[in-house]
Structure 1
Amino acid sequence: MRIALNARILQAPRTGIGQYLVELIEALRNDPQIELELFHGWGWSQEVPQSALPGYSRWAALAKQVPWAYQIRRALDQQRFDRGARKHQIDLYHEPSLWPLDFSGPMAMTLHDLTHVHYPQTQPRDRLAEIERRIGPALERAQCILTDSQFVADEITRHYGVARERLQVAPLGYAQRFHPREPESLHSCLAAFGLEPGGYLLCVGTLEPRKNLAQALRAHALLPETLRARFPLLIAGMAGWRSDCFAAELQTALAGGHVRLLGYQSDQTLAELLAGARLLLFPSLYEGFGLPVLEAMASGVPVLLSPQAALPEVAGPAGIYLESGDDHGWCEAIIRVIEDQAEWQLRRTMGLQQAQHFSWKRCATITTAAYRQALEH
């Protein structure tokens, strides 16, 4: 099978979908019957970019100011894609996000979540209009639709009326860099941040409303002063849509000296930061999967999270679930797991066991079966 994968998203700094694509490509390459051709927008290759395209953030900001920028870029991409698809004699096209290019042959697509439905403000207006115009026909055209969770599969059926038999749930996995680490191996990385292994709490995610990071700030602020000093709260992630909505709370927390904003971190640094954390706080209101939860469990770090969307599918019985808005409940849970070593160890063990249910090999196996199913239609 000669498969075309749209890898254009790898031009941007890697967040969830980018990580999905990189790990899926690596896992699919273990199948000798699959030959991958990656479309990058400007051309084709079989190589995965090692980093984001230089200047991508500036281009993305400029595109928001240029009328019809998304439509123009899309038309140019389509021309290059058509030429490459003919040249490489593509059997099937896989779109790993929600905006497929046109292709005359079989097509599979991955729909990770319905953020564009629940949080349309996260998309620039022109791009949202194109998504809304194109996604319905794309779902009708796709021979197979992959999702990361049963929750999202059910959402797609309810919102778009897609028949259940056309959906395949392919849960994500975690990269090999996420694993328990001895404290000694973390000193070099953590020293650069002035941290000690096990001596901080961590949030991972783009700064935007649905991530609900203000919940973590409020819970941390309620901790006794001694615990706040011993366990500062670190937030790792890029600024996103309306990150200003909790700017006042964030500035107050930063001024107190016990909350630190780390910004976007490299893959390896993030893996070491996760492994060294006492807890991961993940109060997100909406996730199609929630990779940081799985990565934390695989690293031997207990997770406090909200029972929303697909998160219970990922954390299972290992997660400590707390409702959004229950500031004192979050605070009490943090204190309990920090101070009760037996509870911390139990949750660590349960998390490691839960993580074993997920792998990129399994995700690739389900994806390959979906390809074959699509080719049979």
Structure 2
Amino acid sequence: MTSSEKSYGRVLFVLSISMFCAMLGIGIIAPVLPLYAKKLGAGGIALGMIMGSFSFSRSGGMVISGELADRMNMKILLIFGLTFYAAASIAYTFASSTGEMILIRIGHGFGSAMVVPITMAIGANIAPPGKEGIFFGSLQGALFLGIGTGPLLSGFLAEKVAMEAPFFSMTILTLLSIVLVFIFLPGNLSRNREETVLPPTRLVVKYLLADHEMLVVFFFQFCSAMCRGSLVMMIPILASGMELSLSRIGIIVSLNSLSTGILQRFSGRLADRVHKYWLILAGGLLSAVTLLGLPSMKTPLSLALASIAFGIGHAFASPSLAAIAAERGKSLGAGRVMGFFNIAFSIGMTAGPVLVGFLLEKAGESIPFYFLSLMLFFASFPFFSHRRFEAFESVNPERK
């Protein structure tokens, strides 16, 4: 292994740890946060605001962090984001009202917005040519393993230690990632000044809106996130008639993210060897078919297998989507493009449960799954042929 390969490997490891800690922090408090909020007297509306304020501030923060990532040293920004994240983590334990909890959630969402897009922007800037798939497979593997491991660890800590234990654990893990970033991440992570000067943000948005390939990537990312966010709500509803304990339901939900995380590196390696469109298509179709069959799942085992199958489908598509976005980031700014890429995911995770909740109330339990399956089929269709986008000129600011 050459010194350059060792350097890439070390950076990838540190970035993966940071991504894992950030997403583990989100997952580890998700099961206990509603209970913790109720202890503070939160009613239905206040609880909704507490849960939704995180995604709201995270989406807005990604616009800011993406812009900053293309103008400042990304190591400094990442340390700042992790520090903000750690401060919000410990602040939960001092909240004495629902208003304070909402403010903390807003700060937590902003801290998350400073970690995930910047981590992916660093990856987009330093990933060796032809290795974007394996690079982002590793990063997103850490992301989904963090999401999947969080609820499992949370239940154990809350039951065996204390209700506040998950919050303290999130703080400790974030502080550990700060130390690793400070020690092992190179200090020269700002954009190379010899590169082409980046266009203004408004022109970047214009380029992306004119780029048909990126539009379908963003749309697939949105639909996939919408389905994933909805499954977290719908799987417990399906499991409620099976007399399962909360811990078993939590395991079934976690299998979704864990299967995605475990397979990310493998599918990322595939993305560097075969055409990315075929992997996105295969992953989208597998997830869509799984959603179509979910209402007929009547046993815990079948529900668990369906959760794993959806996770596998997402695992095949995710690194290829990120690699395509990273290629655009080389000319339009990695921070901006990866920021928009993550905003599409965040909006999908927020919109999915809202739309599915409406359909659940108006049309019954099966219709939401058919709706999600149709959306994912529709999002997968443009990737049926890799020749579809060859007629369109790649977006390149140098030629504009």
TM-score (norm 1): 0.26
TM-score (norm 2): 0.25
Structure 1 or 2: more strand by fraction: 1
Structure 1 or 2: more helix by fraction: 2
Indicate the structure whose relative CO is greater, using CA pairs within 8 Å and at least 6 residues apart. 2
